Amino acid sequence: MLSLLLLLLLLPPQDCAEPPGLAQLPRLAPLQSPDLLYADGLRAYAAGAWERAVALLREALRSRAEVGRARRDCGAWCAAEPGNELPPVPSSDPGSDFSPGTWERLLLRAALRRAECVSQCAVRRLGSRGAAGHRVVRALRDAFRRREPYNYLQRAYYQLKKLDLAVAAAHTFYVANPKHIQIREDMVKYHRMSGVRRQSFRDLENLSHWAAYDEGLELLKRQEVAEALPLLEEALKESLAQMENCRAECEGPEEQLTEEEEEEEIQLESQSGLYEAIAGHWIRVLQCRQRCPGAVATRPGQDSPVPDFLPSQLWRLQEAHAQVGNLSQAMENALSILLFYPEDEAVKEVLDKHQKLLGEQSPDLSAREDIRHFVLQSVGEKKLLYYAMEHLGTSFKDPDPWTPEDLIPEGLRKKLREDLEKRPWDSKPPEPESLAKWRDVHFLEGVTLTQDAGQLNGSERAVLDGLLSRAECEILLQLAKDAAKTGDGYRSRRSPHTPHEHFEGLTVLRAAQLARSGAVGREGAKLLLEASERARTLTQAYFSPEGPLHLSFTHLVCRSAIEGEQEQRMDLSHPVHADNCLLDPYSGECWKEPPAYTHRDYSGLLYLNDDFQGGDLFFTEPDALTVTAQVRPQCGRLVAFSSGGENPHGVWAVTKGRRCTLALWHTRAPEHMEQRYYCIYLREVKDRKKDAT
């Protein structure tokens, strides 16, 4: 344990560069806590006090940024102050008179001095309460990371008729939340407004490394290599600076932990002694620092980082330098890549090529010092984390593919290798009985499971393909064309969800009546029943093998875009809703009460065509705004899902063409069974038997 503490506490302090991204905001008053400012801003927004809301929300953003800057600056300044340096590691030489007890006293004295310095610095920068007075809860930290203040700002600016600032704030929020339905609609609105300049669509939080990176890549695409080089160098420099900022933030008490680690910390807090607590704290700091490269490499609004962000930047730099004749710089960047991947053959070939071109003029070249520092620093931290993993039982998921294998202790390496090489079916849990039963139907029907709940980012959702052939889809489309009636199934409403689309429907009862009267062919009506039963059988087999599902309502519906009414359109074809409860997006609750169809248990959408624009089905979070999955209709595709608040869904606007679907709702309650459907279905079965005899 003592050796781990020595290594942890002697890590070098980090420099602190100021983050370049946030737009500078004027100071309105002495710095206040960002959570109080944000709460007051939201109250002003709700009251329609737009100017006050703008001032408070801007100040909340400035306060949050200033707290981070103060923490980084104070940490760097105090680390460099004389007398605050940590003592050297005690010598293991038997003749040394430096005892562990002496070293421990020096260490604690240095730690106390550093703490005093940081505390006093924070008071000078942030006011009498220091950093402790500006801590915020996780929910608020997440709100700032999601840039939520900008969503309120854009609405407030719009009310104040400050269109340029409204568009900039909206774009800033949109960049980090591209799946947010409301902001997508707002962005469409702004793009269509006259008087909105292209320059207004700017990211007020744009991080400098992404700005330089994107501009450099754009110049490379245009073959303007010489102009791209300074930007590529700036992108790398700023990427490393952002990583240092992130690493410094890891020393803040609330910034280190993921949500899972935070829960684990609460459980272990009362069980730790002094040394365990110190080691545990530093381990979490190191885990946080190891996440920084991935955080810096992840664009706002994206879920995963750009793969090999630093090595890929170095590769572009070596290529660009080589193209303009800077072979020495090209070699330095290539050598830097080898720090990550020492056996990379492509890089070695490039080095040999450059070496031959330089000949005897080649100076003694080495990797870039900034990259060498980064790699050594990261490798040193990984050693400590793997040590803690082996000896203290802590967890560490290494985010980097370039970590040297010999860095990992042999015993731990074997276990990790076994985990990686383990066959997927060895680690899968036993197959649920529902899926086992489903597979029998799956193979009998020739249907493929295209996406399950995990792939659709939710629960009790599935996409199944192959329920209908192309010919069968054409038969049902013809039936819809011949028999679908405006408002049928929608209480005679022509456009129940949007005035920009024309809705036509056909119920099972009406299809049977038309077939018996000879108004439509019997083939289409029969297929409508058969397709409904296929969908019910598959939905039951997949979701409810333990008990029967009954069809409670079946509806063939087509929605057509109305020509001339699509230009200024901002609405949805079908607003976000749940099928058996009343969705409250503000609370995230779904109230199972009338007028909702509370008896519905599962829903199904069997698509007949895809020759239209828009009209994709999407699922959201309970807020009805954040899209979690999207499905494109096609012939024979069934989307089946549970009907409750766990599956809010809607339909994007159909902007061209006609979209036809067989919508089905299933219930476990026999008393809510669609009686007319079963009467018709049983009659059809009886007719078939009669024909067979």
Q: How far is CA 268 from the centre of its chain?
A: 30
What does the alpha-carbon distance between residue 520 and residue 512 come to, in Å, rounded to a whole number? 9
Output the six-digit token pair for 149. 């203040």
Long-range CB contacts (< 8 A, 24+ apart) of 68-71?
68/19, 68/245, 68/249, 69/18, 69/19, 70/121, 70/122, 70/125, 70/126, 70/131, 71/122, 71/131, 71/248, 71/249, 71/251, 71/252
Are 333 and 314 in contact by the 8 Å Cβ rule? The answer is yes
SS3 assignment, position 328: helix
Output the six-digit token pair for 282. 């530093």
Instruction: Provide CB contacts within 8 A for 234, sequence distance 6+.
Output: 208, 209, 212, 216
Output the six-digit token pair for 303. 């879920």
| Residue 423 known to be catalytic | no
Instruction: Provide CB contacts within 8 A for 452, sequence distance 6+.
Output: 461, 462
Sheet holding 627-631, edge to edge: 574-577, 649-651, 617-620, 627-631
What string of H, E and C letters represents the secondary structure of 218-249? HHHHCCCHHHHHHHHHHHHHHHHHHHHHHHHH
What does the alpha-carbon distance between residue 484 and residue 494 come to, in Å, rounded to a whole number? 12
Are 354 and 331 in contact by the 8 Å Cβ rule? The answer is yes
- Calculate helix-pair angle for 2-9, 100-126, nearest 10 degrees: 40
Q: CB neighbours (10 Å) of residue 247?
A: 24
What does the alpha-carbon distance between residue 176 and residue 299 come to, in Å, rounded to a whole number? 8
- Shortest CA distance to 397 belongs to which of 291, 507, 275? 291
Q: How many residues does the chain have?
A: 693
Q: What is the DSSP string of 516-581?
A: HHTSS-HHHHHHHHHHHHHHHHHHHHHH-TTS--EEEEEEEEEEEEPTTS-TT--S-SEEEE-SSS
Give Cα separations from 545 to 548, 554, 672 (angstroms): 7, 21, 19
Are 441 and 449 in contact by the 8 Å Cβ rule? The answer is no
Residues paired with 465 in a beta bridge:
448
Residues paired with 629 in a beta bridge:
619
SS3 assignment, position 643: coil
Instruction: Provide CB contacts within 8 A for 471, sequence distance 6+.
Output: none
Rounded to 10 degrees, what is the CA torsion of 85, 86, 91, 92? -160
Active-site entry in 58, 155, 569, 659: 659
Instruction: Provide CB contacts within 8 A for 273, sequence distance 6+.
Output: none
HSE at residue 84, side-chain half, CA atoms within 13 A, is 18
Q: Which amino acid is at 492?
A: S
Active site residues: 659
